Amino acid sequence: MAIITSNIIFDLVGLVIVVIFILILYFKRAFNYWKSKNVPYVEPIIPWGSLVPPHKRTEPIGDEVARIYRDAKKKGWKHLGFYILNGPIFMTTDLETLKCILTKDFNHFVDRGLIVNEKVEPITGHIFFLGGKKWRNLRTKFTPTFTSGKMRHMFETIADCGVKLEQYILKEISYHEPFDIKDILGNFATDIIGSCAFGLEINSFTDPNNPFRLMGRKIFLRSPVGNLKFLLVSNFPSIGRLLKLKLLDPEVTKFFTKVVIDTVNYREKNNVQRHDFLQLLIDMKNNKDASKQPGDGKCLTINEMVAQCFVFFIAGFETSATTMAFALYELSKHLNIQKKVREEIDRVLRKHNDAVTYDSISEMKYLRQVIDETLRKYPAAPFITRQCVEDYVVPGTDIKIDKGVRVYIPIKGIHYDEEYYKNPEVFDPDRFTDENKQKLKPYAYIPFGEGPRMCIGMRFGIMQSKVGLVSILKNFKVSLNNKTKEPLKFLAASMIPQVEGGIWLNLEKI
């Protein structure tokens, strides 16, 4: 019996050795991809590729991608490759090439290369992840939602949320405690998106632990295991589908599915019509035109509606709250800039009978410069992706990007490039005066991406950020509290910039 057991153990050990040997050969072959194309690349390690393994990560992946960009620029590399697990990634430091990828030759790079598995996880089938024909049809349908006319219509809702923000701060300021400003602005943005997207009154300031806030906090933080699962699904999609791996917390999926289904049922049962994003989706769902086919992005199933509402929520509340928080952080450190912003706010509002309106907000050019500079230093998406859908030769080179290869656009790396921005670590809104913007090299500033897949909700995000900042700055002086740990350190597990320990500010009534 002991001999049989020993033989089994020996056979298992031998099998493991063989499997490891095969995997090593597989990765060595995969890691020869860029060398065979004579493209400079970042050395990989088996099995993680060129990036830091998830369990050893001490900085966000966006910062690591920016560092790869900086190192490549120092070496004089215009084009380079690296690996995530076994997957080859192309990156360029040349803005002309970037223009081709994002705009000029967009048809070669329509997709983002993000995994959509609508059968297993329907909520991933939203406009941000989708590619091809379905993405085009949805984009065409959604674009009118963000016209000037629709923005004006939604402005009253946003302004009302600004009033609630002011009232909350006035109430809390009497306790003389510092404010976790990101948390407060998260409440503000959640109320806006809840109303504009779902037609729901969320009242985050009176109920900061409402389900929308709780779910919002869960979405953007991944554990090392979650990051590993994302890497696995991204690089081995067939394995991900076979194992039916899900990227989102099931509780998040269940919550948003229930909210959308219940709201749609209520509206249809009671014949309720609203001028909001959900109503657009309901109209698409009920589109009975025989030429429309389920799954084409022209008419929607209830699961597809859930997916679009989900991405509208996460893109609308978190990115704007983050931008406003970093803007106030910088203004708390640069009191001269804060004073200049407040003077503009006071001057413009006096012209409009002290009313925060769509027109008065639009006139605040220096405030927009502050937001633009904030987005340069702290882009909500430090990098974005594209996937080659048709073999592509990089103009002026013999480099061929094969179909299926992903491209990383290092937004934060570009935004901190000294070739385009003198003293990039310095916060300077004057970089974005009308005159200086004309001097800025095209594609050197892309916080919302660029080209046909540029962020569809950019104008909405800027508008609500302006309202939030005006609501605070016209009433309160902002200063930095010593609870804020400097220099700022960003959470390694977060997909967007989040500060360890939070951003704590003092607010003083003017």
d(CA 153, CA 59): 41
For residue 387, give both structure tokens. 């996937």
- CA dist 81 → 35, 39, 49, 87, 131 (Å): 9, 7, 11, 10, 23
- CA dist 59 → 55, 64, 123, 492 (Å): 11, 7, 28, 4
Residue among 71, 34, 156, 24 at smallest CA distance from 402:
34
Phi, psi for residue 203 in degrees, rounded to 5: 55, 60
CA contacts within 13 A on the Cβ side of 103: 12
Other CB atoms closer than 10 Å to residue 398's CB: what's the count? 8
Helix H or strand E segment including 342: helix 335-351
Other CB atoms closer than 10 Å to residue 381's CB: what's the count? 21
Residue at token pair 């004309």: 438
d(CA 487, CA 388): 38
For residue 359, give both structure tokens. 């027109």
* Distant-in-sequence, close-in-space partners of 219: CB < 8 Å, separation ≥ 6: 248, 249, 252, 314, 318
Helix (H, G, I), strand (E, B) or coil at 77: coil
d(CA 479, CA 469): 14
d(CA 193, CA 216): 12
Question: Omega of the bond prior to 53 within 30 degrees of 0, cis?
Answer: no
Phi, psi for residue 137 in degrees, rounded to 5: -65, -45
Q: Is 100 annotated as a binding residue?
A: no
Say if CB 200 and CB 194 are below 8 A apart: yes
Binding-site residue ranges: 455
Binding-site residue ranges for heme: 455
